[in-house]
Amino acid sequence: MENGASSYRRFLEGDESGIVDIIRDYKDGLMLYMNQFVKNIHIAEDLTEDCFVRLVVKRPKFKGKSSFKTWLYSIGRNLAIDYIRHNSKTVELSDEDYNALLIDEKNIETEYIKEEQRLVVHNTLKKIKDEYSQVLYLSFFEDLSNKEISIVMKKSKRQIENLLYRAKLSLKNELDKEGFYYEKL
């Protein structure tokens, strides 16, 4: 999936299939990452679309200082944070809407996270601190390096190493409560 930079370059040079390749390769993971922030899969889906629209309309320059995926996730993170800042009011949902939202979120997660073990870990991430959940998501599910995670989360590499250590301990404790073992911990 490291063809993102070349696909973006093709798109910028006029090949429309480049943006199609980027969307195909990155939309699901980016959407689930953004859902870590907004806690609503439909909003995360809209923000993911906004992220790709930004690529098409504004055509920001990819300088290659990080991987394309890291750069794209940084844009998505900024959009999610902007959304949260501008929509900080809590919205009340009916039980029916809330259940529908949970069902939709679960269907998308299940489609993206195929193995049962990864699904259990993904669901357990919801039980730990948001910052821990985000760093583990980027590490386990998006396979980003500590350096790439530090760019996305705007922290030093050392802070990410410490955060990952504490996050893994927290996740291990939650998984132990459920009697589940995950080999990456």
Note the pLDDT tens digit of each residue in 116-169. Answer: 677 788 888 899 999 999 999 999 889 899 999 999 999 999 999 999 999 999
Contacts of 120 (CB under 8 A, 6+ apart): 175, 178, 180, 182
**CA angle at 66 for the pair 114 and 110, rounded to the nearest 5°:** 10
**To the nearest whole number, what is the mean pLDDT of the chain?**
87
How far, in Å, CA of 104 to CA of 168, rounded? 28
Domains recognised in the chain with CATH numbers: 1-112 (1.10.1740.10), 114-178 (1.10.10.10)
How far, in Å, CA of 60 to CA of 168, rounded? 35
Task: Look up residue 20 and give its two tokens.
Answer: 């199609």
**CA angle at 178 for the pair 138 and 116, rounded to the nearest 5°:** 55
How high is the pLDDT of residue 111? 64
